[in-house]
């Protein structure tokens, strides 16, 4: 069983919500990415999203754009990231999803990229700019490799469109709770409960809600309406502020632990 499916099954059986942490791969170094991944696993993070550095991250706000820039500056490439994930797999079985733009997959070649991702220990791909109707052989290639293709639903997605998107997904559906790009927000979106219910009417897959969750209070609130929450920019911001600190991993782990504890209440 894919690690993502197994983790959500475990969460369901224990009547708990999941926590998904996003960081930029190679920010500030791939060594830090390795160490943060292990620290997050120990802190109770259920799924790790790794943003693959890209020169034009159009879906990302400033915090994550700068993380991608730092990742590129540290020399992070897909092959080097795959090697880092192999190292993570020596110590951890935390489910790993790559947050990636299709240009990077296309440049390597779809079969080659998917095979290399699977062989390194990746469990799923969240391709930001690949709608299902333009995916070609993507889903069949992913299925053959045992990977989950994860798709996005936005607040502006009409119900008919939701119904056409979610059958293509595996692992979970990622609900973007805000219009626009990634980033920290002072309050959570007001339509999360209604949109989660609408998505749930068309799929049995778990729903993970992200974009804008910045602190434990917001994490606790959003977790009431979904199977999992996703926090990215707030964690990436902690990395940015502590990237020159020798205690980087400890500082970021403490922040992430507070978010995990806020979201880990029983259903």
Set out the domains of the chain in order of their start, with CATH numbers: 3-147+214-262 (3.20.20.70)
Classify burial at 201, counting beta carbons within 10 Å of its beta carbon; exposed 0-12, middle 13-18, buried 19 or more: exposed
pLDDT one-digit tens code per residue, 179-234: 444 444 445 556 888 999 999 999 999 999 987 788 888 888 888 889 999 999 99
* Catalytic (active site) residue 49: yes
Q: Which of 5, 60, 116, 227 is catalytic?
A: 60
Q: Which of 46, 49, 123, 227 is catalytic?
A: 49
pLDDT one-digit tens code per residue, 100-159: 999 999 999 999 999 999 999 999 999 999 999 999 899 999 999 999 999 999 999 999
Please give the angle made by the CA atoms of 109, 113 and 119, to the nearest 5 degrees.
150
Measure Cα distances from 165 to 87, 133, 196 in Å.
Answer: 34, 9, 14
What global pTM score does this model have? 0.94
* Catalytic (active site) residue 137: no
């Amino acid at each position: 069983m894919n690690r993502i499916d197994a983790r959500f099954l475990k969460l369901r059986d224990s009547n708990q919500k999941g926590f998904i942490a996003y960081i930029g791969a190679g920010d500030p170094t791939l060594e830090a990415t390795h160490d943060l991944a292990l620290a997050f696993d120990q802190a109770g993070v259920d799924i790790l999203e790794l943003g693959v550095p890209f020169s034009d991250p159009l879906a990302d706000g400033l915090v994550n754009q700068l993380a991608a820039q730092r990742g590129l500056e540290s020399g992070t490439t897909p092959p080097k990231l795959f090697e880092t994930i192999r190292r993570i797999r020596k110590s951890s079985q935390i489910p790993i999803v790559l947050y990636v733009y299709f240009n990077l997959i296309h440049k390597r070649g779809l079969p080659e990229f998917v095979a290399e991702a699977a062989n390194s220990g990746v469990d799923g791909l969240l391709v930001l700019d690949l709608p299902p109707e333009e995916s070609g052989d993507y889903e069949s290639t992913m299925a053959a490799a045992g990977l989950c293709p994860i798709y996005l639903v936005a607040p502006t997605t009409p119900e008919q469109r939701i119904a056409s998107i979610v059958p293509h997904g595996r692992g979970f559906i990622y609900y973007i709770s805000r219009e626009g790009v990634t980033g920290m927000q002072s309050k959570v979106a007001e339509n999360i409960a209604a949109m989660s219910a609408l998505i749930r009417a068309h799929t049995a897959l778990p729903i993970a809600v992200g974009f804008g969750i910045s602190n434990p209070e917001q994490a606790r609130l959003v977790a009431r309406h979904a199977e999992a929450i996703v926090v990215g920019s707030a964690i990436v911001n902690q990395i940015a502020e502590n990237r020159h600190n020798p205690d980087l991993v400890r500082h970021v782990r403490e922040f992430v632990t507070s978010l995990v504890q806020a979201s880990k209440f029983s259903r």
